Amino acid sequence: MQIQNYQCHFTVPVSTEKAFNAINDVEAWWTQNTTGKSTSPGDVFTVSFGKTFVHFSVQELIPGRQVIWKIEDSWLDFVEEKDWNGTYLHWQVIPKGDRTEITMVHIGLTPMLACFDQCEKGWDFYAKGSLYRLLTEGEGMPDQRRCSISDAQEQK
């Protein structure tokens, strides 16, 4: 039996360039509590949601096509685990006529992890909901809780 990583696919009525740029603008669709950059290979950035934080490094970036982020360190307060450590987010944008198909695979996020059900709901909301809305309506639904990255890290 093959274990499936979390993945989502959706199509938007925008160019691959616009879709790709939106994915890398994590403050606009995921969380406003973001530090660092995600626009070039080697960049590092951190996102936080209350006590939860995730440190990423940009492993690969092919403009208008794909980006791969590695989770270097994390703390998921809702399960008190570091389940995401060593996992990867692989984003691809593929032209489909005058539309763009976006695929995101969270490599390593499988049903065997304690956080899977909640993470699946989170990704469904932020990727398929907020990012989709950013691209189709011009405004995403990022998390807006106020917290500092260092406060989130001190909680673990």
Domains of the chain (ranges; CATH) run: 6-154 (3.30.530.20)
Query: Cα–Cα distance between 100 and 64 in angstroms, integer?
Result: 10
Encode pLDDT of 105-116 as tens digits. 999 999 999 999
Strand arrangement of the beta sheet that strand 99-107 belongs to? 6-12, 99-107, 88-96, 66-75, 52-62, 44-49, 34-36
Query: Cα–Cα distance between 103 and 94 in angstroms, integer?
Result: 8
Q: Report, as an integer, the average pLDDT of 12-22.
A: 98
Encode pLDDT of 23-68 as tens digits. 999 999 999 999 999 999 999 999 998 889 999 999 999 999 999 9
Look up the pTM and report it: 0.90
Are 58 and 90 in contact by the 8 Å Cβ rule? The answer is no
In 3-state terms, the chain is what percent helix, strand and coil (to 5)? 25, 40, 35
Encode pLDDT of 60-95 as tens digits. 999 999 999 999 999 998 887 899 999 999 999 999
